[in-house]
């Protein structure tokens, strides 16, 4: 018995999905040309599919789980559950209009023509705000629609905003924020649920390690207490004596984002030779 995981065949999510499996110690042979590949060291089969088809495959039980954009679940798979947020492919689904158009509120979309690849998402948004607009479904290059007279507004994925900028559009409403997630089929057998739990444990181990850094620093012994009070450590930090009399080396694990907040404080408190190292796996 194998856990069948669907990942995007090619596109934005493909590379990082494969990398995540690799970081979890799951090796896949010949992922390139085949649409179905078995892992060599984990009871798993990887199905390479078109993104848009994945929610249906999950629903039908053709795939047990999938790595997919949260936005696509909102569009096509609200009945499916998210079991893990994966932290990559962060983006938002937004409404945009030509830069020079006036925009005050959602009401300005009343009676307008909106081009999008995410019709259900837009429809839900319009309904919530009691706005009636005409939807025009297109499958790609949505941002060009207003420039060629196809629509008054668009709804599409925005990340850096450069596609909007290049097409003279401005973002007026953020409908939702998205990232890659692990989603599951509704009726997993107990055996499959156990395998899923194993996979989730590995994923959490990898993700936690990514957020954290191993920090080493040197300081005079009389400054150590103050430095420890600044460090938001895992537990108590490790303290080792240096060859130099009256000095110690202090090791701890901190959240990457916290590091930038406390670095100046650490230096002021007398920390020297600060090293920040990546962590490969982290089991807590
Ligand atoms: N510019 C972006 N920045 C960050 N994430 C993005 C961006 N564009 C898309 N994504 C995310 O990646 C997912 C896949 O996008 P991509 O454009 O590769 O595939 P697609 O065109 O939706 O699907 P298909 O596999 O059918 O071609 C999207 O659902 C979204 O969650
Ligand atoms: O805000 P930005 O950083 O510019 O990213 C947004 C763009 O990225 C995606 O397109 P993609 O490149 O995936 O092309 P596609 O339309 O062929 O899917 C999305 O559909 C937007 O067009
Ligand atoms: Mg795309």
Ligand 2 site, residue 140, Cβ cutoff 6 A: yes
Q: Which atom of ligand 1 is nearest to the CA of 72?
A: 29
Distance CA 156, CA 93 (A): 5
Cα of 280 vs centre of ligand 1, distance in Å, is: 27
Q: Is the pLDDT of residue 259 over 60?
A: yes
Q: What is the model's pLDDT at position 30?
A: 64
Q: How far apart are CA 135 and CA 280, in angstroms?
A: 47
Torsion of CA 264, 270, 274, 280, to 10 degrees: -80
Which amino acid residue places its CA nearest to atom 12 of ligand 1?
12
The pLDDT of residue 233 is 62
Q: Answer whether 178 contacts ligand 1 (Cβ < 6 A).
A: yes
CA of 89 to the centre of ligand 2 (A): 11
Q: Which of 8, 12, 77 to mutate to test the pocket of ligand 1 (most atoms within 8 A of CB)?
A: 12
Q: What is the pLDDT of residue 32?
A: 63
DSSP annotation of 163 reads H
Q: What angle do CA 207, 19, 38 make, to 5 degrees?
A: 115
Instruction: Judge if the beta carbon of residue 72 lies within 6 A of ligand 1.
Output: yes
pLDDT (tens digit, 9 = 90+) per residue, 118-174? 999 999 999 999 999 999 999 999 999 999 999 999 999 999 999 999 999 999 999
Q: What fold, for 3-88+179-188?
A: D-Maltodextrin-Binding Protein; domain 2 (3.40.190)
Query: Residues near 93 by Cβ (< 8 Å), separated by ≥ 6?
Result: 71, 74, 118, 121, 155, 156, 157, 158, 174, 175, 176, 178
- CATH of region 91-178, choose from 3.40.50.300, 3.40.190.10, 3.90.209.20, 2.60.40.10: 3.40.190.10
Which is higher by pLDDT, 224 or 235? Answer: 224
- Give the closest residue to 47 by CA, choosing from 5, 78, 93, 85: 5
The enclosing H or E element of 58 equals: helix 54-60
Ligand 3 center to 180 CA (angstroms):
13
Does CATH number 3.30.70.120 belong to domain 212-278?
yes
Question: What is the average pLDDT across 84-108?
Answer: 97
Summarised one tens digit per residue, pLDDT across range 1-39 is 999 999 999 999 999 999 999 999 999 976 567 899 999
User: In what side-by-side order are the strands of the sheet with 272-278?
Assistant: 238-241, 247-255, 212-220, 272-278
Overall average pLDDT of the 237-264 stretch: 91
pLDDT value at position 283? 87
Which atom belonging to ligand 1 lies closest to the Cα atom of 140?
21
Look at 61-65, 159-163, 178-182, 210-214 and tell me which has the smallest mean pLDDT: 210-214
Q: Is 20 within 8 Å of 28 (Cβ atoms)? A: no
Question: So what's the pLDDT on residue 144?
Answer: 97
Q: Which ligand is nearest to the CA of 8?
A: 1
Percentage of the chain modeled with pLDDT above 70: 98
The Cα–Cα gap between 59 and 77 comes to: 8
Give domain limits for the chain: 3-88+179-188, 91-178, 212-278
50 alpha carbon, closest ligand: 1
Closest CA to 262 of 233, 283, 238: 233
**280: part of which helix (H) or strand (E)?**
none
- pLDDT for position 121: 98
d(CA 123, CA 132): 9
The answer to whether the 3-88+179-188 and 91-178 domains have the same CATH topology is: yes
The predicted pLDDT at position 235 comes to 67
Q: Give nearest CA residue, ligand 2 atom 9.
A: 157
Task: Say how far apart CA 226 and CA 23 lie, in whole Å.
Answer: 37
- Ligand 2 binding pocket includes 143 (Cβ within 6 Å): yes
- Nearest bound ligand to the CA of residue 156: 2
For 28, 170, 265, 280, the CA distances from 119, given in Å and listed in that order, are 36, 20, 50, 41
**Alpha helix positions (H), 129-243:** 162-166, 190-211, 224-230
């Amino acid at each position: 018995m194998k856990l069948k995981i669907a990942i995007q065949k090619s596109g934005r999510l493909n590379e990082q999905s494969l990398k995540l499996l690799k970081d979890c110690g799951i090796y896949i042979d010949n992922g390139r040309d085949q649409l179905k590949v078995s892992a060599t060291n984990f009871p798993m089969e990887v199905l390479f599919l078109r993104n848009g088809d994945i929610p249906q495959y999950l629903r039908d039980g053709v795939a047990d789980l999938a790595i997919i954009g949260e936005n696509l679940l909102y569009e096509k798979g609200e009945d499916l559950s998210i079991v893990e947020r994966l932290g990559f492919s962060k983006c938002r689904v937004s409404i945009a209009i030509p830069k020079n158009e006036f925009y005050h509120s959602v009401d300005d979309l009343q009676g307008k023509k909106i081009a999008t690849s995410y019709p259900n998402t837009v429809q839900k948004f319009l309904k919530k705000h009691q706005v009636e607009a005409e939807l025009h479904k297109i499958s790609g290059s949505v941002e060009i629609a207003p420039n060629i007279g196809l629509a008054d507004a668009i709804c599409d994925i925005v990340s850096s905003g450069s596609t909007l900028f290049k097409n003279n559009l401005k973002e007026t409403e953020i409908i939702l924020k998205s990232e890659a997630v692990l989603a599951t089929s509704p009726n997993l057998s107990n055996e499959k649920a156990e395998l899923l739990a194993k996979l989730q444990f590995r994923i959490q181990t990898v993700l936690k390690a990514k957020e954290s850094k191993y920090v080493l620093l040197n300081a005079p012994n009389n400054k150590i207490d103050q430095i420890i009070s600044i460090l938001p450590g895992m537990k108590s930090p490790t303290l080792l004596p240096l060859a130099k009399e009256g000095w110690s080396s202090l090791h701890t694990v901190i959240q990457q984002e916290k590091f930038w907040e406390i670095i100046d404080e650490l230096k002021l408190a007398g920390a020297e030779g600060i090293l920040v190292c990546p962590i490969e796996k982290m089991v807590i």
